[in-house]
Amino acid sequence: MLRFRGWLNQTQTDFSKARGLAISATKDALETGGFTLPEPIYRLRFVPPVGSEAVRRMQDAASADRRKPAAVPATAGSEALDVTPDHHIEKKVDEERAETRATDLLDSGRPVE
């Protein structure tokens, strides 16, 4: 089992975005280095009687595929590396408050009971 730890300023970085990018980068680096990672699926194999030529060919092809390191996808510009927090909900609340000019339950000036 591999464990990685890091620190990030969550006022400038969205935790989920940064975590996803870190997992993806780690997986790509391990696969590029020749490590095979377990697949998140289960394969059922129904093997015909031993000695079948078709079975041997399938096993040879499967083992050859496992030896090839996976190609690392190219990063699609700086947008793929954007880890800034999303503020669309705050913007939407501000817009609605500006339209109605009334206080609401999300008003920070209201006391919390």
Domain definitions of the chain by residue range: 8-73
- Which amino acid is it at 1? M
Give the residue, 46 or 34, on which the prediction is more confident. Answer: 34
Whether pLDDT at 78 is above 50: no
- Can you give the pTM of this predicted structure? 0.41
Region 79-89: what's the mean pLDDT?
78
Q: pLDDT-based confidence at 66, cuts 50/70/90?
A: low
Rounded to the nearest integer, the mean pLDDT of the chain is 75
Confirm if 23 and 92 have CB atoms less than 8 A apart: no
Residue 18: partners with Cβ closer than 8 Å, 6 or more residues away: 8, 83
Q: What is the mean pLDDT of residues 52-59?
A: 70
pLDDT of residue 112: 63
